[in-house]
Chains A and B, each alone.
Chain A
């Protein structure tokens, strides 16, 4: 997708999740149908270190099953950067390239105390393609 049409409620849910988890990173997914974002799935960050996120594979399976039951496909993986800017870090890029999610959209939310949160979205369209920022349209 070249523009991510993100419902305002999902934007707000990601910010709220990031603020709840601060100073840890939050993480989750958004499932959708025909490119339209339908449900947001909060997930548990099992990373043993701060400034990082990692899934619980069992929960990952359960979220996948829920999306299947609802006829959805995973369209977005989101996480927060607590106290940092919203950018696709070297770690984010490395994992995206080593991982197998393909051209899924990654939302990164900047969450800092006393500052308004903001987010950016990124995609790697093919194996050797560069990281590309995706415009977000709040709907």
Chain B
């Protein structure tokens, strides 16, 4: 398993209750999934808000690596490397049907 350091993770407002109010935290991991697992070690409970129990990214959450949506890459298995920036973005959707 590869490890990385100093990956900046942008935490959206509704998840900052897990990070003590921090909007930006650092974490490590060779993939998005590893990164989120490590985030959960530091900030217990945050993982379940980002991924399903099977590890797939929740439907109404978008994860970006350097501005690219990981749904268009390799999903939770998208590789990340030292210096990357990861954004977690709660989706907005709905409608009258």
Contact = CB atoms under 8 A, between A and B. Distances in A.
15 contacts: A25-B95, A27-B92, A55-B91, A57-B62, A58-B67, A60-B90, A61-B64, A84-B96, A91-B94, A92-B96, A95-B93, A99-B61, A99-B93, A100-B58, A101-B92
Nearest to B95: A52
How extensive is the interface on chain B, given as a class?
20 to 34
Contacts of A57: 62, 64, 69, 89, 91
Interface string A54-86: 110110110010011000011001010110100
A45 B35 CA distance: 31
Q: How many A residues are at the interface, by size bracket? A: 35 or more
Contacts, number: 99
A52 B97 contact: yes
Contacts of B23: 68
Interface string B60-87: 1110100101000000000000000001
Given A60-B89, A98-B60, A89 B96 contact: yes
A79 B93 CA distance: 9
Contacts of B62: 57, 60
A81 B96 contact: yes
Contacts of A92: 94-96
B13 interface: yes
A92 B5 CA distance: 39
A124 interface: no
A91 B95 contact: yes
A19 B43 CA distance: 43
B97 A51 contact: yes
Interface string B1-35: 00000000010111101000001000000000000
A47 B44 CA distance: 34
B53 to A, nearest CB: 14
Given A61-B87, A74-B13, A100-B58, 13 more contacts: A51-B96, A52-B96, A57-B64, A60-B90, A61-B89, A79-B94, A90-B97, A91-B95, A91-B96, A98-B60, A100-B12, A101-B92, A104-B14
A35 interface: no
A18 B67 CA distance: 30
B92 A89 contact: no
